[in-house]
């Protein structure tokens, strides 16, 4: 077999129990990486980990302790950590802020923002210890546009785009790449009861998103925001100068 850039690497994937995260975990394993599957649904994490011969970790990543536990487990089992895919996410499911449930709001910001901040914070020292590596964040096309179907979700995804852009120059000097994928609607169970938000048109497959994610983890450009649209090629997003 031909060696890949991912062979022998250790990767941690959050939200790895289903959807995009599960697809990425399977592709990483097929490419020769050891995979740590992290999800708040322990049974789902164990199922995917069993499929890929990886390690399952049940953790609430919106809490600092949950994130620390997941990253410590990865290094304890494998001795190092090279790649991190911060993929867990949640919709608020409402376009009308006057109808927004406060508990749902806290849950969405916890998963979509706090878990990314805590995840990057935990990843940096681990990747430094490994001599460098890569962090990939799953943002969304909603992180680059005015997504009026779910303004709170859009806000959170804009936030992580800003975090990636702000951190990229500094982390690059430490041998750590950080980038984001920004997919359009994806055909997963993620939408669940909020599928009514999809107004029609083609949707991405999880395999297409996972393929793009693997390319970024293997050798993407730091600070890049990769837009993924059904039927199109992954395209870096370019901001106009401020």
- Catalytic residue positions, numbered: 153
DSSP 71: H
| Cα 34 off chain centre by | 17
Nearest of 56, 105, 58, 114 to residue 86 by alpha carbon: 114
d(CA 236, CA 217): 15
* Cβ-proximal residues to 63 (8 Å cutoff; 6+ apart), any chain: 110, 118
Contact present, 152 and 111 (Cβ < 8 Å): no
Buried b (16+ CB within 10 A) or exposed e, 43-77: ebbbbbbeebebbbbbbbbbeeebbebbbebbbee
Using CA atoms, how far apart are residues 86 and 136, in angstroms rounded to an integer? 6
Q: Which two tokens stand for residue 50?
A: 């069993």
Q: How far is CA 59 from CA 15, 28, 47, 83, 127, in A?
A: 10, 21, 15, 18, 20
In whole angstroms, give the CA distance from residue 9 to residue 81. Answer: 7
Q: Which residue has tokens 């990229």?
A: 168
Residue 193: alpha-carbon gap to chain centroid: 21
């Amino acid at each position: 077999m031909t060696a890949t850039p991912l062979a022998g690497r250790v990767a941690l994937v959050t939200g790895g129990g289903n959807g995009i995260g599960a697809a990425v975990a399977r592709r990483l394993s097929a490419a020769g990486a050891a995979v740590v599957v992290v999800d708040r649904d322990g049974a789902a994490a164990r199922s995917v980990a069993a499929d890929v011969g990886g390690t399952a970790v049940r953790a609430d990543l919106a809490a600092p302790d949950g994130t620390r536990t997941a990253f410590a487990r990865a290094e304890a089992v494998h001795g190092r950590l090279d790649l991190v895919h911060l993929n867990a996410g949640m919709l608020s499911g409402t376009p009308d802020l006057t109808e927004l449930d406060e508990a749902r709001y806290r849950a969405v910001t916890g998963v979509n923002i706090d878990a990314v901040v805590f995840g990057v914070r935990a990843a940096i020292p681990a990747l430094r210890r490994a001599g460098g590596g890569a962090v990939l964040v799953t943002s969304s096309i909603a992180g680059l546009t005015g997504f009026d179907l779910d303004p709170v979700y859009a806000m959170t995804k804009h936030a992580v785009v800003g975090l990636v852009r702000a951190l990229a120059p500094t982390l690059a000097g430490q041998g750590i790449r950080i980038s984001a994928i920004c997919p359009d609607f994806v055909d997963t169970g993620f939408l669940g009861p909020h599928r009514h938000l999809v107004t029609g048109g083609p949707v991405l497959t999880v395999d297409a998103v996972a393929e793009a994610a693997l390319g970024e983890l293997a050798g993407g450009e730091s600070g890049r925001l990769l837009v993924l649209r059904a039927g199109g090629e992954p395209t870096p997003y370019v901001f106009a100068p401020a």
